[in-house]
Structure 1
Amino acid sequence: MPHRSSDMRVFYHVHMISDSTGETLMAVMRASAAQFDRAEPIEHLFALVRSPRQLDKALEHVADFPGIVMYTMVNSDLRREIEDRCAELHVPAIAVLDPIQATLSGYLGAPVTGKAGAQRALDAEYYRRIEAMNYSMAHDDGQGDNLAGAEVILLGISRTSKTPTSVYLGHRGIRTANIPIVPGAPLPEELFFLKKPLIVGLTASPERIVQIRRNRLLNLKEDRETGYVDEDRVREELIHAKRLFAKYGWPTIDVTRRSIEETAAKVINLLSEHRNTV
């Protein structure tokens, strides 16, 4: 059962059991839990559970720390074992993908195959995302070569969220490079001849840029006045960047009031449109 702390926060155990990497379960659980104020899940993840012995170990943990069980499992015997054991323990068990698969089955007029091969597809997707993350990290802040291997290239002046957006997109399986626009420094010549990657310009209000830059200098214990945080200079940097984006027809995203997730979602939408035109 959930328990309350002295400051009235509610803590509860959530057990995620998956025959894959568990990333789908984790994403669904966290998105759902975020809708409940002052309620914090204690996460227990059991990934790559594919044998009765592995499942027994996970269910023993559920017995020790009763809570909600969420699972994705192809094997019907293991699914049944989860349901039976959770019923004995009087804890709810949720087959996260079942409602989606049932709806798709009804819409398509086809049964759910339950093929083990689907697991291999998930594994391939996992490794594709790892490769994208590696690419994004190697091509952060103008580093690396082979820009032609990118799916997305982000451009922007300092402190326009290029790096965290690149990392987030990499985690989503999108190979992303980011390049800073620095006064007086030329951009890579290769950039202007690329056809396949989506090139996106990131911008923000001068006030927001100055605020973030000042905070960065404070964290670095740098208190000297510098043009880096001069609002007029920042405004000039932004005007130069916007003119560059307009000249080459690169789509632009204002990140002033956007979270990293919102910026990335916009980039993904632009990428979908871009792929239909190249």
Structure 2
Amino acid sequence: MQEWLDPSSKLGHIRYMRISTFLNVHLVSDSTGETLNAVLRAVAPLFEGVTPLEHSYYLVRSRRQLDRVLAEIEAFPGVVLFTIAAHELREVLVEHCKRLGIPALPLLDQVLTMWEHHLKMRAGEKTGSKQALDENYFRRIDALNYTMAHDDGQMVHEFNQADVVLVGVSRTSKTPTSIYLANRGIRTGNFPLVPKAPIPHALLELTKPLVVGLKVSPDRLIAIRRNRLLSLNADATSEYVDEDSVREEITDANRLFERQNWPVIDVTRRSIEETSAAILNLLAERSAR
């Protein structure tokens, strides 16, 4: 925890203001730690003024590896989140943390217990990475390969092989959203709408993939584009950021979405994860129909 002098104080004495609390968070996994990282990203923003100091230990599968982790936990006390399948290693970690008075939480235990009770069988001790090379893994790799090859309007003639195609004007997060979906095993292509540029018939005639239009407010888009130009030391007075031109560009895109009867997602205040979740919901609804 840090405290600093409040320079804005008008009182005749010194006042202090707390600005941040630091918390050591130890993430211990016998696999790649994806679950732990996802939980940390979800929880940390809920505590205003708290800065997590992340200590990550992945592929921990032997007592020797665990001993090094225990030494780090002792040197930097905080909280411990872990996903370890081997009962022996789990017990050592939990007992060590108990002696130190450090909270240690096995993230998957409640889920595993529920499954065991429902299925009337005990969970095994395979680590996540040992189970990774299955159909889902190869589907994700295939989706990533497809998505990278069909980014930014490349090979539109192959878009009918996609699961999802994203369409939108420049800087509507088409590429990062596509990559996020690909990591979920969704083959994703994306096409940028450029003013006065023709739209290929192959895009307009798609039948298999879910085509989604991404729209954004003019003010937000102009701000994003200006920041982009500044980072490139480019001309910040071009039509790319001209208010009238941008509004016309967005209007044309919205008209296209309406003509094609494509579902539309407003990404103005959405994160990549939220946009992707909305697209996954659209996919599920389409599949149910």
TM range (shorter): 0.7 to 0.9
Deviation at 1:118, TM superposition (A): 6.2
Counterpart in the other structure of 1:257: 269
The one of 167, 172, 189 aligned to 2:179: 167
- Please give the TM-score of this superposition, normalised by the length of structure 2: 0.82
The one of 131, 134, 157 aligned to 1:121: 131
Q: Which amino acid aligns with 2:211?
A: I
**Separation in structure 2 between the aligned mates of residue 127 and residue 20 of structure 1, nearest angstrom:** 18
The one of 196, 201, 211 aligned to 1:199: 211
**Separation in structure 2 between the aligned mates of residue 138 and residue 273 of structure 1, nearest angstrom:** 27
**Separation in structure 1 between the aligned mates of residue 85 and residue 277 of structure 2, nearest angstrom:** 30
**Separation in structure 1 between the aligned mates of residue 67 and residue 185 of structure 2, nearest angstrom:** 33
For 1:116-195, list aligned pairs within 5 A: 116=126, 120-122=130-132, 124=134, 125=136, 128-144=139-155, 146-195=158-207
Give the conservation status (yes or no) of the 8 Å contact 2:83–2:108: yes
Deviation at 1:21, TM superposition (A): 0.9
Give the conservation status (yes or no) of the 8 Å contact 1:20–1:122: no
1:63 to 1:207, Cα distance in 2 relative to 1, 3 A: closer
- Please give the TM-score of this superposition, normalised by the length of structure 1: 0.85
- CA RMSD in angstroms, aligned pairs only: 2.6
Identify unmatched segments of 5+ residues in structure 1: none
Q: Which has the larger radius of gyration?
A: 2
**Separation in structure 2 between the aligned mates of residue 226 and residue 8 of structure 1, nearest angstrom:** 41
Q: Which amino acid aligns with 1:138?
A: A
- 1:68 paired to 2:79: yes
Counterpart in the other structure of 2:10: none
Q: Which amino acid aligns with 1:50?
A: R
**Separation in structure 2 between the aligned mates of residue 101 and residue 267 of structure 1, nearest angstrom:** 29
- 1:80 paired to 2:91: yes
Identity %: 49
Counterpart in the other structure of 1:14: 25
1:112 to 1:69, Cα distance in 2 relative to 1, 3 A: same
The one of 218, 223, 228 aligned to 1:211: 223
Deviation at 1:22, TM superposition (A): 0.4
Q: How many residues align?
A: 274
Q: Which amino acid aligns with 1:31?
A: A
- 1:237 paired to 2:249: yes
Q: Which amino acid aligns with 2:89?
A: L
**Separation in structure 1 between the aligned mates of residue 272 and residue 128 of structure 2, nearest angstrom:** 31
Secondary structure, counterpart of 2:46 in structure 1: coil
The one of 96, 101, 105 aligned to 2:107: 96
1:118 to 1:159, Cα distance in 2 relative to 1, 3 A: closer
1:223 to 1:152, Cα distance in 2 relative to 1, 3 A: same
Counterpart in the other structure of 2:11: none
**Separation in structure 2 between the aligned mates of residue 88 and residue 117 of structure 1, nearest angstrom:** 27
**Separation in structure 2 between the aligned mates of residue 28 and residue 263 of structure 1, nearest angstrom:** 19
Deviation at 1:24, TM superposition (A): 0.4
1:261 to 1:105, Cα distance in 2 relative to 1, 3 A: same
Is the deviation greater in 211-220 or in 200-209?
A: 211-220
Counterpart in the other structure of 2:120: 110
Is the deviation greater in 85-94 or in 217-226?
A: 217-226
1:123 to 1:179, Cα distance in 2 relative to 1, 3 A: same
